[in-house]
Amino acid sequence: MEGTSGIPVSVLDLAPVKEGGTINDSFRETLALARHAEALGYRRFWLAEHHNMTGIASAATSVLIGYVAGGTRSIRVGSGGVMLPNHSPLVIAEQFGTLESLYPGRIDLGLGRAPGTDQLTMRALRRTITNVDEDFPREVAELLSYFSPPRPGQAVRAVPGAGLRVPVWLLGSSLYSAQLAALLGLPFAFASHFAPDLLMQALEIYRAEFRPSEALERPYAMPCVNVFAADSDDEARRLFTSLQQAFINLRRGRPGLLPPPVDPAEGRWSEIELAGAEHMLRYTAVGSPETVRRWLESFIQQTRADELMLTAQIFDPAARLRSIELVAGMFGHAGGPPAAR
């Protein structure tokens, strides 16, 4: 699906686990969201790796990508992202080589360098802790090499994986990945939906320092934003309170299941907590189709995004489907309702 500025629009999902729900419910709702996004014409459907978080069920990201790709027909499915320092580059090459072999031309591999969890769980995942800033570029280069055609005498190959052109993205929330993506000539996705502070600077650095590669001739940037679209501004603001509560609970050191929405005036947080949440979640569009359309148009103009990724922690699965449907409608896609004017 193309946005108001003619750019593609995609969806990021975390397979949220809700209060009163089960992980099985989360997986079924994720697949339903992916199918809806596909029918509406969205470009990609990505899933993010997190660990030891009771409210997020996408820990086994490659497995879940296979489930979603197998339940859809045409939408690109990928990782937003796989946290490479948690894994062997060879294992990831084999996993995504397998996915690409099963679903040719539909798989994306987005790579991050954060642990996607707390320090204790990071140690359980990695066993040995190394200097990620030093190792990450080497591990990305090693992973890319496994997707290249096999060389004579090459002792270690990714089977499947070798010779498959799986698109590799770098993900980031700071300047580090922007610089590395530019150096390697890879597409770049920025996690502005929860880490907004360095978005503009990261995009500037990425574009200024970009070096063309076999993968990409010119820079290609995709920021991610939260979108809570509903039939009215009041309804959308109520839906947004689930994410606000989840974010504040995380900051309190009490992460948990995704809570149901509440009346925004109920005051389940202090003014300081709310101000902190508003700062970190400031790249969030909340409102009716007209309100959200104006916000997205402004954001696209400010960032000069090549593609836009949307995400939302919405408690009611029907409201979540409705949100991306309204966005499709405001972008004028035939599969959605009429564009708001």
168 within 8 A of 197, measured Cβ to Cβ: no
Provide DSSP, 215-282.
S-SS--EEEEEEEEE-SSHHHHHHHHHHHHHHHHHHHTT---SBPPP--GGG--S-HHHHHHHHHHT-
pLDDT value, residue 155? 87
pLDDT value, residue 82? 95
Classify strands 9-13 and 76-83 as parallel, antiparallel or unpaired: unpaired
51 within 8 A of 117, measured Cβ to Cβ: yes
Mean pLDDT, the chain, as a whole number?
91
Task: Kindly report, residue by residue over 76-130, the tens digit of the pLDDT.
Answer: 999 998 999 899 999 999 999 999 999 999 999 999 987 656 677 667 766 566 6
Percent of the chain with pLDDT over 90: 79
339 within 8 A of 332, measured Cβ to Cβ: yes
Task: Kindly report, residue by residue over 73-89, the tens digit of the pLDDT.
Answer: 999 999 998 999 899 99
Which pTM value belongs to this model? 0.92
pLDDT value, residue 339? 30
pLDDT band at residue 340 under the 50/70/90 scheme: very low
Percent of the chain with pLDDT over 70: 90
Amino acid symbol at 72: T
Going 299 to 268 to 55 to 15, the CA torsion angle's sign is negative
- Rounded Cα–Cα distance for residues 223 and 221 (Å): 7
What end-to-end distance do the CA atoms of the chain give, in Å?
A: 19
262 within 8 A of 268, measured Cβ to Cβ: yes
Phi-psi region of 64 (alpha: psi -120 to 50; beta: other; left: phi over 0): alpha
Mean pLDDT in residue range 201-225: 97
Task: Kindly report, residue by residue over 30-71, the tens digit of the pLDDT.
Answer: 999 999 999 999 999 999 999 898 999 999 999 999 999 999
Task: Kindly report, residue by residue over 147-194, the tens digit of the pLDDT.
Answer: 999 888 888 998 999 999 899 999 999 999 999 999 999 999 999 999
pLDDT value, residue 337? 31
